[in-house]
């Protein structure tokens, strides 16, 4: 498998208000491979956004190395590497630069000097990928949060990135907007094999991931497949994370002495286990 | 009241004027403002007025909509007119009724100045009514491009303009939200002495500024990660397209100036 991004013993501190240093990311190690979907979870202030900023060169590590596409990120290759990474942030309003949908999608293309003749098809193509092709001339204040976030994704896709980072891109959306965005990203990843790193509080998103990274107080605490992660229910709850409803119910049932087997991530899995459990006795 | 005011507002449409390149419209209005000062007699002022009405007609703007929207400015114009009627005391006496004396020259001056004022306001309103703010910004940027040589940051100014325009509705919504939040906490903005009212505005402005700065910071980061490094080496998605009709507009302007020069002088 080809490596897309790796963090090698990366640490970063912010200057705190009293003049001292505060570790936001502490000795973090992990590798992301081509085509993977990684979810990063953790409590508020656990260093997730700082990680995202380190990946895209908004911050440089104090210790350790950040490698993107096998190159160590530095001042010289920064802009070239950035043009291959798309990133979408939390607040839908604050990342909408253009005055209309199509202007916003073209923003990165303009910055990277893509000629006009090529911009037009790329803008249309990216908007089609997020199901927003009918909104070319819409202004941002006439769009819902979910639509704005999809436009932001289209803006990232227009550069044909190899890696898409979502930093809590769905956390300010209503359930419907969140579903729209998740669905679009899921479809993209299946169709194009795009590598996705999604920083999230949303457990549905975690379930879609190939691998989950759990951050606690700037440190990488756990990593593994979603079902492996949710098997550590106590640990997750002790750092203030909620399990998905089905996983929590499954654990509570087992604690209550009901004889069910294995971990259950979704309600469907749990229901299947429950109605067949009687035959398995 | 504010919704009705159309000075500076854009109303989308598809008339000949709407479809013109913003550069030709900007150039035209700018030059027109200068040309207005060529008028000095009844014929030339009449020509300006007829010309402006013609443009309104071509732009398919309803006169009622236009004048209703410009009411406050029309009051100002009528006020100027009356001031001239009353205070200019030259020429033949036209009306002499008790203490009110209106002279010929007063009427003439009043009408001239009012027409001048009116056509200027109408022309600039037609410009903003038929051109989206972002097109005006684009047009300005291209027209001012030569000034880059004297180190005027044309691209940066245009970008600032377009981002401000883009955030006006966002900040309006926010102001509304904060206002409601403060009202819900019992803050009273509509009564009390001037000093008290000013003090009541502070809890409105502080959160608004805090959030605007937060937005600015987020926006700067979003722009940077999308590769924004200033105007150097940037291409443009919005293309301006100078057509035959734009050249026609400039020719029309030259004809207007020729007519004004031919008609002016003497009474
Ligand atoms: N610009 C900054 N200056 C100083 N301290 C900061 C700055 N940004 C973040 N921090 C601190 O660094 C720590 C990690 O912050 P970070 O934003 O990476 O957390 P996070 O996991 O993204 O949290 P959230 O879920 O709230 O987004 C926090 O304690 C935060 O207070
Ligand atoms: Mg964060």
Task: Enumerate the domain spans of chain B.
Answer: 2-163+244-265
Question: pLDDT digit of tens for each residue in chain B (267 aa)?
Answer: 445 667 778 888 899 999 999 999 999 999 999 999 999 999 999 999 999 999 999 999 999 989 888 888 899 999 999 988 888 888 888 888 877 788 888 889 899 999 999 999 999 999 999 998 889 999 999 999 999 899 899 999 999 989 998 898 889 889 999 988 888 888 777 777 888 888 888 888 999 999 999 999 999 999 999 999 988 889 999 999 899 999 999 999 999 999 999 998 855
Distance A135 CA to ligand 2 centre (A): 29
Q: End of a domain among A143, A159, A175?
A: A159
In this prediction, residue B201 carries a pLDDT of 84
Specify whether A67 is located in the same domain as A166: yes
Any domain includes A261:
no
Does the CB of A79 have a partner CB in chain B at under 8 Å?
yes
The structure tokens 């979910």 sit at A146
Q: End of a domain among A226, A253, A271?
A: A226
Specify whether A123 is located in the same domain as A212: no
- The total of other beta-carbon atoms located within 10 Å of residue B86's CB is 14
**Cβ distance of B235 and A155 shorter than 8 Å:** no
Specify whether A79 is located in the same domain as A128: no
Confidence (pTM): 0.84
Specify whether A1 is located in the same domain as A73: yes
Angstrom distance (rounded) from CA A170 to CA A4: 24
Specify whether A67 is located in the same domain as A202: yes
Measured in angstroms, the CA of A279 and the nearest CA of chain B are apart by 56
List CB contacts of B88: < 8 A, sequence separation 6 or more.
B103, B105, B106, B109, B110
Residue A43 alpha carbon, nearest atom of ligand 1:
25
- ipTM of model: 0.87
- For chains A and B, CB pairs below 8 A equal 85
Any domain includes A192:
yes
Pocket lining: A14 vs ligand 1, CB cutoff 6 Å: yes
Pocket lining: A216 vs ligand 1, CB cutoff 6 Å: no
In this prediction, residue B221 carries a pLDDT of 95
Q: End of a domain among A207, A226, A245?
A: A226
Any domain includes A20:
yes
Any domain includes A250:
no
Of B133, B215, B226, the CB nearest to A155: B226
**Cβ distance of B219 and A97 shorter than 8 Å:** yes
Measured in angstroms, the CA of A106 and the nearest CA of chain B are apart by 6
Angstrom distance (rounded) from CA B178 to CA B208: 8
pLDDT in tens, A71-95: 999 989 999 999 999 999 999 999 9
Question: What torsion do the CA atoms of B14, B18, B22, B28 make, to the nearest 10 degrees?
Answer: 160
Specify whether A21 is located in the same domain as A53: yes
Question: pLDDT digit of tens for each residue in chain A (281 aa)?
Answer: 789 999 999 999 999 888 888 899 999 999 999 999 999 999 889 999 999 999 999 999 999 999 999 999 998 999 999 999 999 999 999 999 998 999 999 999 999 999 999 999 999 999 999 999 999 999 998 999 999 999 999 999 999 999 999 999 999 999 899 999 999 999 999 999 999 999 998 777 888 899 999 999 999 999 999 888 888 877 888 887 877 788 778 888 888 887 777 777 778 888 888 888 777 65
In this prediction, residue A198 carries a pLDDT of 95
Question: Chain A, 44-73: which have a CB under 8 Å from a chain B CB?
Answer: 56, 58
Give the structural domain span for A130: 98-159
Any domain includes A31:
yes
Domain count, chain A: 2
Specify whether A196 is located in the same domain as A217: yes
What secondary structure does DSSP assign to chain A, as a single string? Answer: --EEEEEEEEEEEEEPTTSSEEEEEEEEEEEEETT-EEEEEE-TTSSHHHHHHHHTTSS--SEEEEEETTEE--TTTHHHHHTTEEEE-S-SGGG--SSSHHHHHHHHHHHTT--HHHHHHHHHHHHHHTT-GGGTT--GGGS-HHHHHHHHHHHHHTT--SEEEEESTTTTS-HHHHHHHHHHHHHHHHHH--EEEEE-S-HHHHHH-SEEEEEETTEEEEEE-HHHHHHTHHHHHHTT-PPPHHHHHHHHHHHTT----S---SHHHHHHHHHHHTTT-
Angstrom CA distances, B161 to A48, A138, B20, B227, stand at 34, 19, 21, 20
**Cβ distance of A58 and B225 shorter than 8 Å:** yes
Specify whether A189 is located in the same domain as A64: yes
Pocket lining: A44 vs ligand 1, CB cutoff 6 Å: yes
**Cβ distance of A91 and B218 shorter than 8 Å:** yes
Specify whether A49 is located in the same domain as A104: no
Question: Chain B, 120-139: which have a CB under 8 Å from a chain A CB?
Answer: 133-134
Distance B109 CA to ligand 2 centre (A): 67
Pocket test for ligand 1, best of A12, A42, A49 (most atoms within 8 A of CB): A49
Does the CB of B173 have a partner CB in chain A at under 8 Å?
yes
Q: Burial-class residue A234 by CB neighbours within 10 Å (0-12, 13-18, 19+).
A: exposed
pLDDT in tens, A216-263: 999 999 999 988 888 887 788 888 787 778 877 888 888 888 777 777
Angstrom distance (rounded) from CA B60 to CA A277: 75
Specify whether A218 is located in the same domain as A102: no
Pocket lining: A170 vs ligand 1, CB cutoff 6 Å: no
Distance A165 CA to ligand 1 centre (A): 17
Pocket lining: A102 vs ligand 1, CB cutoff 6 Å: no
């Amino acid at each position: 498998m080809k490596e897309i991004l790796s963090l090698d013993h990366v640490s970063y501190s912010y200057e705190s208000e009293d003049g001292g240093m505060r570790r936001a990311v502490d000795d973090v190690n992990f590798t992301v491979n081509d085509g993977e979907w990684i979810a990063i979870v953790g409590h508020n202030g656990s260093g997730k956004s700082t990680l995202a900023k380190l990946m895209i060169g908004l911050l440089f590590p104090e210790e350790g190395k950040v490698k993107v596409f096998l190159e160590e990120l530095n001042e010289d290759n920064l802009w070239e590497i950035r043009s291959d990474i798309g990133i979408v942030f939390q607040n839908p309003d604050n990342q909408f630069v253009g005055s209309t949908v199509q202007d916003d999608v073209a923003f990165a293309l303009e910055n990277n000097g893509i000629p006009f003749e090529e911009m037009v098809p790329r803008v249309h193509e990216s908007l089609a990928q997020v199901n927003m092709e009918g909104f070319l001339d819409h202004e941002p204040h006439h769009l819902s949060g979910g639509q704005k976030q999809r436009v932001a994704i289209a803006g990232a896709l227009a550069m044909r990135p190899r890696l898409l980072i979502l930093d809590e891109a769905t956390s300010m959306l209503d359930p419907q907007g969140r579903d729209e965005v998740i669905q679009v990203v899921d479809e993209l990843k299946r169709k194009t094999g795009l590598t996705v790193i999604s920083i999230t509080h949303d457990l549905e998103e975690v379930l879609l991931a190939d691998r989950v990274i759990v951050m606690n107080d700037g440190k990488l605490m756990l990593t593994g497949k979603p079902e492996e992660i949710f098997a550590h229910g106590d640990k997750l709850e002790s750092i203030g994370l909620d399990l998905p409803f089905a996983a929590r119910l499954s654990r509570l049932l087992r604690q209550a002495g009901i004889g069910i087997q294995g971990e259950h991530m979704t309600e469907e899995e749990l229901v299947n286990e429950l109605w067949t459990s009687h035959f398995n006795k | 009241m504010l919704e009705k005011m159309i000075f500076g507002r854009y109303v989308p449409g598809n008339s000949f004027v709407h479809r013109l390149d913003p550069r030709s419209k900007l150039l035209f209005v700018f030059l027109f403002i200068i040309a207005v000062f060529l008028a000095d007699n009844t014929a030339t002022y009449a020509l300006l007025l007829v010309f402006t009405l013609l443009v309104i007609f071509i732009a398919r703007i309803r006169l009622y909509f236009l004048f209703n929207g410009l009411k406050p400015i029309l009051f100002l114009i009528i006020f100027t007119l009356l001031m001239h009627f009353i205070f200019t005391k030259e020429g033949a006496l036209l009306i002499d009724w008790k203490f009110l004396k209106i002279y010929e020259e007063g009427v003439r001056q009043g009408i001239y100045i009012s027409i001048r004022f009116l056509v200027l306001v109408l022309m600039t309103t037609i410009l903003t009514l038929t051109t989206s703010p972002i097109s005006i910004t684009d047009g300005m940027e291209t027209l001012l491009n030569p000034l880059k040589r004297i180190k005027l940051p044309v691209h940066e100014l245009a970008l600032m303009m377009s981002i401000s325009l883009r955030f006006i509705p966002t900040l309006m919504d926010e102001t509304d939200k904060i206002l409601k939040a403060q009202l819900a906490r019992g803050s009273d903005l509509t009564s009390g002495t001037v000093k008290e009212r000013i003090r009541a505005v502070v809890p409105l402005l502080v959160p608004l500024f805090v959030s605007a700065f937060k937005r600015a910071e987020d926006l700067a980061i979003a722009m940077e990660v999308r590769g924004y490094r200033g105007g150097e080496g940037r291409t443009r998605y919005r293309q301006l397209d100078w057509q035959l009709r734009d050249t026609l507009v400039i020719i029309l302007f030259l004809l207007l100036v020729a007519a004004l020069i031919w008609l002016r002088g003497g009474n």
